[in-house]
Amino acid sequence: MSKKEKNDAFEKGSDEPIEKDPTRIRINPDIGENISGIWSFIKETVSFKDGADVESTVKNIREGINFRGPNVWVLICSIVVASVGLNTNSTAVIIGAMLISPLMGPIRGIGLGVGTNDLSLIIDSLKNFGIAVGISLLTAWIYFLISPISELTAELEARTGPNLMDVFIAFFGGLAGIIAASRGDNSTVIPGVAIATALMPPLCTAGYGLAIGDFQYFFGASYLFLLNTLFICLSTIIVVRYLKFPLRKFLDPKVEKKVAWMSYVLLFLVVIPAVFLFYAKVQETVFKENAKSFANEVILSDESLRADLMYEYDGEDSHIEIFLRNKVVSDDVVETWKKQMKTYGLVPSSLTVIQGEDVEEKIASL
């Protein structure tokens, strides 16, 4: 083929010269086709529909739901190991406990049941979930009652309440777990999910709160556990719906309609609290970050001033306290600080400045 013929073939869109000369690339001038091709490539890259083993996934999840015999004792052992780790402030022991914990089974079972309108599976999963939680709390409570160490360790304190990162960890950890399960891969990802979502330590911490009679720890740890549970369940529902798992069918259309309606109610009960809790944690996190910025940039901008910051988030009744340790400021300065709170999104939060008596002013007045 002559040089002129090659050029003509290249201009006509022939692939022959391109195959012989890989340095020459034909550019499609059609912008619409290019955008469509890029979008198709992105969808093919991120999609995980192909290769999903629905039957095997449903079978594996169903097998992990029931807490009978060996599963109960494995759960008890994992709770004791996690409690020892929390009690001795050992991260390695806590991770070991989460690796052997079977608590993920009923939670994924609830998500699968809601996602496929399988009411009997939902009821069975909830029943076993309640049994598992009850056994876990009882075991942790007994352990911390007889344990000679009652000190609040750093590992225990870290599980006395959730933060925004716990929400993301629970959701994406649960997402990784159900995606792996849909491929029949339960060997490596599920233990990682057990570590990431950290279901066991909050339950153990709740048992610790009961054992020492501190219900603030109990409710804080229970709140963290509930948050993790809701978002694992929510991620399971999303993947089950995305992969279009077959919905449960009934011979009687009325029964099928009733079950579908109840499944949607349960879906609502999972999604709404999850969204509400997520929004509340976002608001709390934003408030804390704004309060820190306000203290550092407004109050502590005076390098000669030494102060401690305390804050309590409670919606519109949130409160900030500034403890001045080495200096007394005038009321005008405090009012200026309060006016600047609006700039940091801290209104209608209140500000209290706690400071010592101005000794020099007192002497002068005497």
Reported as a single tens digit per residue, the pLDDT across 78-116 is: 899 989 988 888 888 887 777 777 788 888 888 888 888
The pLDDT of residue 105: 84
User: In this predicted structure, which of 92-106, 162-176, 210-224, 254-268 has the lowest mean pLDDT?
Assistant: 254-268
What is the phi/psi pair of residue 97, to 5°? -65, -40
Enumerate the β-bridge partners of residue 319.
312, 350
Q: What is the mean pLDDT of residues 263-283?
A: 75
In this structure, which amino acid lies at residue 336? Answer: T
Residues of the chain with pLDDT > 90, as a percent, come to 9
pLDDT at 10: 46
For the chain, report the end-to-end CA distance as a whole number of angstroms: 110
Among the residue ranges 37-46, 47-56, 153-162, 190-199, the one predicted with the least confidence is 190-199
The per-residue pLDDT for range 211-250, each reduced to its tens digit, is: 998 888 898 888 888 888 888 888 888 888 888 888 777 6
Q: What is the mean pLDDT of residues 1-6?
A: 51
Tokens of 115: 């996602």
Mean local confidence (pLDDT), 317-323: 85
In the prediction, which pLDDT does 216 show? 87
**Selection from 109, 163, 103 nearest residue 135 by Cα:** 103
DSSP annotation string for 276-302? HHHHHHHHHHHHHHHHHHHIIIIITTS
Q: Ranked by mean pLDDT, which of 14-18, 89-93, 107-111, 188-192 comes out on top?
A: 107-111
CA distances 343 to 291, 323, 333, 337, Å, are 11, 21, 16, 10
Of 175 and 36, which is predicted with more confidence? 175
pLDDT above 90 (res 140): yes
Lowest-confidence region among 13-17, 70-74, 286-290, 309-313:
13-17
What is each CA distance from 315 to 199, 222, 289, 344, in whole angstroms?
Answer: 28, 21, 15, 15
The pLDDT assigned to 144 comes to 92
Helix (H) / strand (E) containing 138: helix 119-146
Alpha-carbon distance of 52 to 42, in angstroms, equals 19
Q: How confident is the model at residue 137 (pLDDT cuts 50, 70, 90)?
A: very high
